Amino acid sequence: MSDNEQTAAEKKLAAKNMRVAIICGLVALAFYVGFIMFYM
């Protein structure tokens, strides 16, 4: 699992994937918290 074996292109893709995951995750979390806050 050594990350240093990755090529530059693979690293770039991994970063892009993480970005999508973080954005979507935050949106989901915001919906969850937002809905509860809305009704409080």
Partner 1 sequence: MSYAAVHDDEHHDHKPTGIGRWLFSTNHKDIGTMYLVFALIMFFIGGAMAMVIRLELFQPGLQYVDPQFFNSMTTVHALVMIFGAVMPAGVGLANWMIPMMVGAPDMAMPRMNNMSFWILPFAFTLLLSTFFMQGGAPAGGWTMYPPLVLQLGDGLPFLIFAVHFLGLSSIMGAINIIATVFNMRAPGMTFMRLPLFVWTWIITAFLLIAAMPVLAGGVTMLLTDRFFGTAFFDAAGGGDPVMFQHVFWFFGHPEVYILVLPSFGIISQIIPTFARKPLFGYASMVYATASIAFLSFFVWAHHMFTVGMPLAGELFFMYATMAIAVPTGVKVFNWTATMWKGSMTFETPMLFSIGVLFMFTLGGFTGLMMGITPVDFQYHDTYFIVAHFHYVLVPGIVFGIVAGVYYWLPKWTGHMYDETLGKWHFWLSTISVNILFFPMHFLGLAGMPRRIPDYNTQFTDWNQIISIGGLAFGLSQLILVWVVIKCIRGGEKATDQVWEGAHGLEFTLPSPPPFHSFTTPPEVTDATAHS
Q: Which residues of the chain form contacts with partner 1 (CB under 8 A)? A: 1, 3, 5-6, 10, 13-18, 20-21, 24-25, 27-36, 39-40
**What is the DSSP track for the chain?**
--GGGS-HHHHHHHHHHHHHHHHHHHHHHHHHHHHHHHH-
The distance of closest approach from Cβ of residue 31 to partner 1 in the complex, given in angstroms and rounded to an integer, is 4
Answer whether 14's CB lies under 8 Å from 6's CB: yes
Closest separation in Å from C-beta 15 to partner 1: 8
Least distance between partner 1 and beta carbon 22 (Å): 9
